[in-house]
Amino acid sequence: MAITGIISKYPSTLIYQLKSVEKMPLEIFETAEFGSKYVAQSIAWAIKRKEQLGQTTVLGLATGSSPIKIYGELVRMHKEEGLSFKNVVTFNLDEYYGLTHDDPQSYHYFMHEHLFQYIDIPKENIYIPDGTIPMDQVSKYCDHYEKQIQLHGGLDIQILGIGRTGHIGFNEPGSDQKSITRLIQLDNITRRDAAESFGNIEDVPYKAITMGIKTILSAKEIYIMAWGQHKAEIVRSSVEEEPTPRIPATFLQLHSNVRYCIDGAAAEKLTRVETPWRVGSCQWTDNLTCKAVVWLSQLTGKPILKLTDEDYNEHGLSELIAERDNAYQINLAIFNRLQHTITGWPGGKPNTDDRNRPERSTPTKKSVIIFSPHPDDDVISMGGTFLRLVDQDHDVHVAYQTSGNIAVHNHDAQRFLEFYEQYNKLASITPKNPLFDAALKTLLSDAKDKNTPEVRAVKGLIRRGEATAAARFSGLKDKNIHFLDLPFYEASKVKKSNGTEADVAIIKELLMARKPHQVFAAGDLADPHGTHRICLDAILTAFEELKDEKWIKNCWLWLYRGAWHEYTIDEIEMTIPLSPQELLKKRKAIYMHQSQKDSAPFPGEDSREFWQRAEHRNKATAEMYRDLGFAEYEAMEAFKRWKFSFQQ
Ligand code: F6R
């Protein structure tokens, strides 16, 4: 089958060398959509082929975020192309132990929601482990599940996601290669990841029933998928390390018909992407050369200008020396390139030659919009640059894309509402506000999920107040502060649905009203809840849809990364150094977000407070530049420019 949307980063002549590093066939797709379509097509072809032979296709199915787009595509093929599932039998990998079939977190519910309700599969052909089986019958039940698979002739195709522990199904680290369907204990990391959709870690079950590694390996064909940066490390280790129970997915290397399907973000840590010169011959673009020089400098602990021909030769970079003459030439070129990323003038330095500066010197006073996905990303990720832009007299506007209301603790909302109630009493004010009253009533009740629209509205107001305080502290007038409350966010819970035209329309309206010269936006695609990704997509779409406007051809989009991690040095195109005083001021702006200061309800993996994460990251960037041989600054904020095809 022709594979579309594949990123061919590696010349086919080097497949042999690649195999010595990557121990499973792997395809990198431009996007998860392309990868999912490819897997869905493979499944559809298998179903049709077997149907022609009068045979049944037995599919092993997974849940979680990874296969959702595959199910979407299968449903589309059923509706639009007549793909029938009448001759299909499915076996799901796993189910949480203790959840009833109608529990919204159960995998029974998930499969119905995403696939079964839309297709013509006979009910009796669906097998999903039953999490309600009494404990003393579980073992017998699991044996029976295995037998059912065999009775149907075994799994034809198994699809898999991978957990950050390296689990496949719920075979957590330590699982034996010979394991079959059984009850297991969930790893803590897995439970923490699941807490996002359960809303609370305490509600995540401790146990699950899962097919074993042996059951999975018995499938005739296997597709394993991983999408997104947060999977990059586990993708690398599962593909490049030897089979080990420490990383159960490595056992897939023993299968003769397995294919790993990932997107560019999940491929970031693969040796062929991170240090391709260790795999074989490379095409030495400027970016790759920069990456290699920074890597070599960090590996040898030498500043760039001190790297010698021997350093290059001894560390597998002789090809680069051969191509570019000598170390001195390479060092100088890369040193200058990185030097030119550093500027104290994020809006461009007025009245200077800007050929070697990241931003244009004209117009001297720029119209700027800073987009912030959540109400605190602006100050966390670019608080120092924000202050500079205002100080340097640019016309800065900030636009908070979402209300961020889901990330406020119930007790905080209750505190505000009780203050309001007490105030009303003291001031003898009646009548009261029905929205506030309803919110307080819910918060004081025993309701399990207290995030009613009223409570979320109050939480949104709390975050609005904090964002306003931080933006004012950074020097903005209230008229320059915009709250967009994008509809996609309000319509979903922790895991976000996709953005819509309505979101894009709101962004377009603001862009048209301001006609900015410069836009800053979060380019952080590792956001665990997907909000940053959707907010960026809405901005990119808005730019594309406005591409015929004259001003947008000169509107530069700068991306910053959110609280999770920084761009790598070779990716950075503008770095703003911060003085110790500026860093302190940035910290104070972050402090304004008091509802996030304690421990935010959805902090992701990192338990540090946001101001700490921001400072550690900005200081680490400054240290990295210092170690490469540049001046030593207190901290640095980094940006990368997004260039549209309609811009130079
Ligand atoms: C789901 C399953 C798990 C997931 C894995 C990845 O049935 O067995 O192994 O595939 O945890 O989850 P997502 O796709 O949500 O990242």
The domain that holds 471 is classified in CATH as 3.40.50.10320
**Does residue 473 sit in the same domain as residue 521?**
yes
**Does residue 238 sit in the same domain as residue 322?**
no
Q: Which string of DSSP letters, residue by residue, matches 483-523?
A: E---HHHHT--SS-----HHHHHHHHHHHHHH--SEEEEE-
**Does residue 209 sit in the same domain as residue 254?**
yes
Predicted pLDDT of residue 605 = 59
64 lines ligand 1 (CB under 6 A): yes
Choose among 577, 568, 561: nearest CA to 614.
561
Choose among 330, 342, 275: nearest CA to 305.
330
**Phi and psi based region of residue 530 (left: phi greater than 0; alpha: psi -120 to 50; beta: remaining):** left
- The more confidently predicted of residues 248 and 12 is 248
Residue type, 370: I
Predicted pLDDT of residue 324 = 87
Q: What is the pLDDT of residues 222-235, one digit of tens each?
A: 999 999 888 999 99
**pLDDT of residue 613 exceeding 70:** yes
**Does residue 251 sit in the same domain as residue 314?**
no
Last residue of a domain, one of 324, 339, 354: 339
Last residue of a domain, one of 321, 339, 357: 339
CATH code (residue 208): 3.40.50.1360
**pLDDT of residue 11 exceeding 60:** no
**Does residue 296 sit in the same domain as residue 384?**
no
CB atoms within 10 A of CB 640: 18
Last residue of a domain, one of 294, 323, 339: 339
Q: What is the pLDDT of residues 142-157, one digit of tens each?
A: 999 999 999 999 999 9
Q: Is residue 113 domain-resident?
A: yes
Q: How far, in Å, CA of 337 to CA of 570, rounded?
A: 10
Distance 166 CA to ligand 1 centre (A): 10
Distance 471 CA to ligand 1 centre (A): 40
Residue nearest to atom 2 of ligand 1 (CA): 169
Decide: 338 and 569 in contact? Cβ < 8 Å: yes
Q: How far, in Å, CA of 601 to CA of 595, rounded?
A: 10
**Does residue 555 sit in the same domain as residue 632?**
yes
State mean pLDDT over 109-119. Answer: 96
Q: Is residue 227 domain-resident?
A: yes
Q: Is residue 362 domain-resident?
A: no
Q: Is residue 8 domain-resident?
A: no
**Does residue 138 sit in the same domain as residue 210?**
yes
- The more confidently predicted of residues 522 and 3 is 522
Q: Is residue 429 domain-resident?
A: no
Choose among 402, 400, 397, 412: nearest CA to 367.
397
Q: Is residue 218 domain-resident?
A: yes
Predicted pLDDT of residue 529 = 54
Distance 64 CA to ligand 1 centre (A): 5
Range of the domain at 328: 280-339
State mean pLDDT over 562-573. Answer: 82
14 band by pLDDT with thresholds 50, 70 and 90: low
**Does residue 284 sit in the same domain as residue 212?**
no
Q: Is residue 446 domain-resident?
A: no
**pLDDT of residue 453 exceeding 60:** yes
Q: How far, in Å, CA of 337 to CA of 216, rounded?
A: 49
**Does residue 464 sit in the same domain as residue 602?**
yes
**pLDDT of residue 310 exceeding 70:** yes
**Does residue 70 sit in the same domain as residue 96?**
yes
Work out how many domains the chain is built from and give that number: 3
State mean pLDDT over 19-47. Answer: 92
Is 172 known to be catalytic? yes
**Does residue 380 sit in the same domain as residue 508?**
yes
Q: Which of 27, 95, 172, 454 does the annotation list as catalytic?
A: 172
Mean pLDDT of the chain: 92
**Does residue 375 sit in the same domain as residue 507?**
yes
**pLDDT of residue 528 exceeding 70:** no
Residue nearest to atom 10 of ligand 1 (CA): 161
pTM: 0.81
Choose among 78, 69, 90, 67: nearest CA to 156.
90
Decide: 21 and 240 in contact? Cβ < 8 Å: yes
Q: Is residue 601 domain-resident?
A: yes
433 band by pLDDT with thresholds 50, 70 and 90: confident
Q: How far, in Å, CA of 18 to CA of 278, rounded?
A: 10
Residue nearest to atom 3 of ligand 1 (CA): 169
Predicted pLDDT of residue 565 = 73
**pLDDT of residue 2 exceeding 80:** no
**pLDDT of residue 17 exceeding 70:** no
